Structure 1
């Protein structure tokens, strides 16, 4: 009998906690009731703790940091959910806890999906800081995209004058837009720091194995920069802001996950 993986139990526990929180929130929405924020956050904190424990055993090896495709997705998911839980203490973003299914999916994939071909990262602190900043930037933009989706749904239902379900518990439209641009500013700042740290510590950002990721990340930075400039100087809002947010996020997703998927599962490098 093969020994159980040390990450199996925390992975299953995290998935169950995420599932319980998702079921509770979905049941409340179905009945038009407002979910208990304290219960949702408590379930989320427990899920994040067990998720992080599972990730630690996946990522930390004697040779260094092993960041394969699914472990990276899991790391970003837990970072996004953790940031959202922290934000819940100060601003009304508990509706973003619809991210819980993402946590359940990624923790199970990192546990059971076959690993790709990935190099172990055993680098200097500067490069590790670059990796961390990249993950945090992607996580912050992920929150912004979910906020943009909710804002789009809110816009649609208000336009057709039949707000119901989740929308009834949303903050006012102006508050939702302010939250979206707050997340975008935070993500843009982290992405800027990520690109700067990469330029300082990676030596050649346009090496063969990095060029696609670098170009797409720079294009995403330009898209988000234009969006934030348009918001400040031209008052961009509504559907225009949502479309630009989706465009920048798609570029960023291709920069990280697209190149990583191709390298690990197609080219095997």
Structure 2
């Protein structure tokens, strides 16, 4: 008798809901109209519930937390979508959903169907789990900041060339978009700082052979974002300079987590 994985049906349901929400919002934006925020959030909430249900089955193992490459990406995607939808209730960032919903669609399917590498089992100690949670929240917040930076770049380019599309017409003013970007960056920087502090406190040896690259790259990313926020506060950095620094710091941060994880699980098998 064929036995289905307990995560299969919720993962497929989440993928369908993400796809439906993305298609609906993309069509509305193409028409130059705003999507119904309540409908988007309803579809997104149902998708996140299904996504989290499937992810729980994939993560929880008898002897610890099984956090492989694709399930980690899926977990971060859930955090990104939840934070974005919460933000939508207070600030005009619903256009970000057209970018984060496809991210959820992609990661939930990869976590379900892509072959996993060497699974890293993590003991469920409160200190370690708090470090993981803070790291995921920091990665999620900086991912939202990068999406916001990319939308800001598109908006700035279209406005300078006087070709506002249906998508751009639904954006908040450029100054508001930029303020939102730095709000996300500040939140991400605080979370990353707390993540690094919790790592120093609870991880036995942050400079062990399998952690040294991750630690150094994360510290470099923290430094890049610190310089960016200082430059914004003291020198008034904005526009393309702010976007370049944001993308640079994000690349370092993603290399710190996903780069080292990819090498360990699929190349070195450790």
The answer to whether the Cα contact below 8 Å between 2:193 and 2:222 also exists between their aligned partners in 1 is: yes
Alignment match, 2:259: 258
Matching of residues 118-137 of structure 1 within 5 Å: 118-137=119-138
Are residues 1:176 and 2:151 paired? no
Separation in 1, partners of 2:54, 2:46: 13
Runs of 5+ in structure 2 lacking a partner? none
Shift of 1:123: 4.0
Separation in 1, partners of 2:211, 2:64: 20
Separation in 1, partners of 2:30, 2:150: 19
Q: TM-score, normalised by structure 2?
A: 0.98
Alignment match, 2:215: 214
Separation in 2, partners of 1:226, 1:163: 32
Alignment match, 2:69: 69
- Runs of 4+ deviating beyond 4 Å: none
Separation in 2, partners of 1:12, 1:123: 28
SS at match of 1:147: helix
Shift of 1:2: 2.4
The answer to whether the Cα contact below 8 Å between 2:32 and 2:170 also exists between their aligned partners in 1 is: no
Separation in 2, partners of 1:122, 1:215: 23
Are residues 1:116 and 2:108 paired? no
SS at match of 1:65: strand
- 13-22 vs 124-133, which moves further: 124-133
Alignment match, 1:91: 91
SS at match of 1:4: coil
Alignment match, 1:243: 244
SS at match of 1:153: helix
Separation in 1, partners of 2:240, 2:111: 35
Shift of 1:119: 2.3
The C-alpha deviation readout for 1:95-124, integer Å capped at 9, x for no partner, is 010110110010000001111102211142
Runs of 5+ in structure 1 lacking a partner? none
Separation in 2, partners of 1:6, 1:259: 29
Separation in 2, partners of 1:246, 1:144: 9
Alignment match, 2:30: 30
The C-alpha deviation readout for 1:52-76, integer Å capped at 9, x for no partner, is 0010000111111100000000000
Shift of 1:249: 0.1
Q: TM-score, normalised by structure 1?
A: 0.99
Q: Between Structure 1 and Structure 2, how many residues are aligned?
A: 269
Separation in 1, partners of 2:157, 2:254: 26
Shift of 1:165: 1.5
